[in-house]
Amino acid sequence: MKTAIRIILAAIIGLSVPGTRVEAEEVKIAVASNFINANRELARLFEKATGHATRISYGSTGKLYSQIAHGAPFEIFLAADSQRPVMAEEEGLAVPGSRFIYAKGKLVLWSLKPDLFTDADRYLKHGSFDHLALANPKTAPYGLAAEQVMQRMGVLDSLTPKLVRGESIAQAFQFAATGSAELGFVASAQIKEWEGGAGTLWEIPPDYYAPIDQVAVLLKKGEANPAAIAYLEFLRSDTARKVIERYGYGVE
């Protein structure tokens, strides 16, 4: 499957033809907000290696998809789920066969306060806090995963009045990192990037929520842009995979 995708991408712009010279171009990328810092480093490495430029917009996966559906000029979509890239392909917005998993997300429960809890299950069931942050489950895959965790634990109904929903996982993390919420469901990658101290962390078992397969797809607006093709190829490289793993994600 991976080889087939590479062949499709290469065929679009003739990368397999020896001696082909590709002029420097700019690629417009829509990126799920949990992947902000990792993608910033990837973009720098890509620009240095290829001479191409990147223009990047960040937001929740749902909102980015809505923008794409309404004609936004993005050429690549790095979603935080697999559902919306599939939808983009089905709606004729993406190049068939160009989808692949670029990262596997990990959800954690985190608080700025050290030693806030030792048993997350007991702490959530007791509910001795005022605010619990999460991303909007309707637009952000990490928010949906947080809901699934609470449903599995049997605490969703009791905690609903305490939930503070951010527009994206980035905003949910901001609520927790500033103390606006005592704790929050955030991405593991955000904790690895944060320099404010350890706090209290629960690494949620992966079987508590559906896999967060973050999928990249080439959009129709980018199929003739060599920079878009090159970025997706770079995203699959060993260099990119090492960066992605360092930021706390799994890779295939």
Q: Per-residue DSSP letters for 46-104?
A: HHHHH--EEEEEEE-HHHHHHHHHTT---SEEE-SSSHHHHHHHHTT-B-TT--EEEEE
Q: What would the two tokens of residue 139 be?
A: 């637009």
The annotation status of 169 as a binding-site residue, yes or no, is: yes
Dist CA 59 CA 140 (whole Å): 9
The annotation status of 229 as a binding-site residue, yes or no, is: no
Taking 3-state DSSP, the helix, strand and coil percentages for the chain, each rounded to the nearest 5, stand at 45, 20, 35
List phi, psi (to 5°) of 48: -65, -40
Dist CA 191 CA 110 (whole Å): 8
Q: Per-residue DSSP letters for 124-148?
A: HHHT-SS-EEEE-TTT-HHHHHHHH
Binding site per annotation, positions for molybdate:
61, 169
Binding site per annotation, positions:
61, 169
